[in-house]
Amino acid sequence: MTDVPVYQKIKREMLARIQAGEWKPGEVIPGEQALSESFGCARVTVNRALRELAEQGLVERKRKAGTIVAQRHARAESFTITLVKDEVESRGSEYGYRLLDRRIEKPNASIAQRLNIGTAKKALHVRCLHFADGRPFQLEDRWINLDVVPKAKTEPFDVEGPNGWLVERVPYTDAEHVLSAVNATAEDADLLGIEAGDALFRIERRTWLQSGVVTTVSLSHPGRDFRLQSRST
Amino acid sequence: MTDVPVYQKIKREMLARIQAGEWKPGEVIPGEQALSESFGCARVTVNRALRELAEQGLVERKRKAGTIVAQRHARAESFTITLVKDEVESRGSEYGYRLLDRRIEKPNASIAQRLNIGTAKKALHVRCLHFADGRPFQLEDRWINLDVVPKAKTEPFDVEGPNGWLVERVPYTDAEHVLSAVNATAEDADLLGIEAGDALFRIERRTWLQSGVVTTVSLSHPGRDFRLQSRST
DNA sequence: CAGTGGTCTAGACCACACT
DNA sequence: GTGTGGTCTAGACCACTGA
């Protein structure tokens, strides 16, 4: 009963103080030193509690300035984005894959900008479909920067999607994700076996290796089959 | 240049080993004790590196069994879900609010289940609109459990939305979020000033205070105006 | 039962950012 | 300058869980 870790107790206590209005948004709260004394524990323990609250977006920390209660009531929620194959199989469905096209071509201005290369430069463009029990589950439209991943040049991607291939072979240091809802174009609908205009849940991802963009991809899922879920405490 | 924290260097090194195939998925990696010796640092430092990798979903840790490289290539991505008002204002737009209806009524079976109350029990049902520069930005459809939040019974919600009201007054211990893409119904479209069938980005949230459900809400945004973004390293 | 990770402590040094 | 958070260490105890 009482073997809840000390740093968690402290987190709860501090949460309670924030919610009780004892510590107001924008206000500086006592320093780690002072808190550790009042809680009767080591400073590192208070530090961990505060660090986790900061990760969750409830407080903001700055050296010298101290820790302040976050102005905006925002909490960071964590969603797990899995590889399609795992996602499909975790639902108990059979995974399927089909390559649509694979071309080395010049990207348009928008894609070139996303890849951070010139429009004169060619890149690898792959489009493919992922199935769950034979039903289209995800439409993948990907561009790969051949400067960063030259070995992709000779990879046919006919039996394995570029997603898994990249994950297993190319490391990345940074990632960006954008989630959105869009209406399916006629082409999207045709490929996904749905009606034009149906809602799509789209995940756009870009990954970097140091300062170079590795790949940028758009993953579209029929809205009725896809959702992202998170649960936090 | 070289003042990167040790635990981060260790994280990178371990990431590299995983990506190089030196440590394979499902395989047990050396224990913290052994690693700290080989890295020439304290065990706590290795512990922090591994804890963070586990939070990101790259490894799984079990007592006694040790640490294994995660089977599924999954990474947890963190998205920040802000209060509508802050979201609108952070875009430099003017925030507006309008209450649509507020009733104390019996929920249908689905909602009753979500609130974890019987269908005979009444709950507070609030629907309202949030605007950005006069344009509908979010349609909120909320149910509040009056057993847990009795003081909501007398709150009119005519000038402030229930979202902000709850955040400031009612603490919660657990939260669940579900993100999805749906097509707007005729009613949704009418209220949001869009066409029926247009894609909506929907956030469904449920919060608990200990074991009781505080509230469940559906937040719908016109797809063309809304996206969630994350950036991680 | 025994090994592994989870947590805690007391003390320390340092970088940063405000004054 | 100087105080605050960021990080690190060496050593310790404990809970969990697989063998």
| pLDDT one-digit tens code per residue, B221-233 | 999 889 999 887 7
Residue B4 has pLDDT above 90, yes or no: no
Residue B1 has pLDDT above 70, yes or no: no
Which residues numbered 87-126 in B keep a CB inside 8 Å of some CB on A?
90
The answer for A116, left when phi > 0, alpha when psi is -120 to 50, beta otherwise, is: left
Of A70-74, A85-89, B160-164, the range with the lowest mean pLDDT is: A70-74
Give the percent of chain B with pLDDT over 70. 99
Q: Name the pLDDT band for B2 (thresholds 50, 70, 90).
A: low
Residue A94 burial (C-beta neighbours within 10 Å; 0-12, 13-18, 19+): exposed
| CA closest to C3 C1', residue | B64
CB contact under 8 A, B79 and A79: yes
Structure confidence at residue A120 (pLDDT): 85
Beta-carbon contacts of residue B115 (< 8 Å; ≥ 6 apart): B107, B123, B143, B145, B213, B216
Structure confidence at residue A102 (pLDDT): 96
- A164: contact with B, CB 8 A cutoff: yes
Q: Name the pLDDT band for B76 (thresholds 50, 70, 90).
A: confident
Q: Which of residues 31-70 of B touch strand D (CB under 7 A)?
A: 40-45, 48, 62-65
Distance between the alpha carbon (CA) of B63 and the C1' atom of C18, Å: 44
Residue B186 has pLDDT above 70, yes or no: yes
Structure confidence at residue A178 (pLDDT): 96
> Where in A5-151 does DSSP place strands (E)?
28-29, 59-62, 66-69, 75-81, 95-105, 123-132, 135-144
Q: Name the pLDDT band for A1 (thresholds 50, 70, 90).
A: very low
Is B214 in a helix, a strand, or coil?
Answer: strand
Residue A169 has pLDDT above 90, yes or no: no
Q: Which of residues 19-78 of A touch strand C (CB under 7 A)?
A: 40-45, 48, 62-65
Q: Name the pLDDT band for A15 (thresholds 50, 70, 90).
A: confident
The reply to whether A44 has its C-beta less than 7 Å from any atom of strand D is: yes
Q: Name the pLDDT band for A24 (thresholds 50, 70, 90).
A: confident
A19 CB neighbours in chain B (<8 A) are 171
Give the percent of chain A with pLDDT over 90. 61
Chain mean pLDDT for chain B: 91
The reply to whether A116 has its C-beta less than 7 Å from any atom of strand D is: no
| CA closest to D9 C1', residue | B42
Q: Name the pLDDT band for A75 (thresholds 50, 70, 90).
A: confident
Structure confidence at residue B58 (pLDDT): 87
Distance from CA of A48 to the nearest CA of B (A): 11
Of A18-27, A123-132, B35-44, the range with the lowest mean pLDDT is: A18-27
Distance from CA of B31 to the nearest CA of A (A): 22
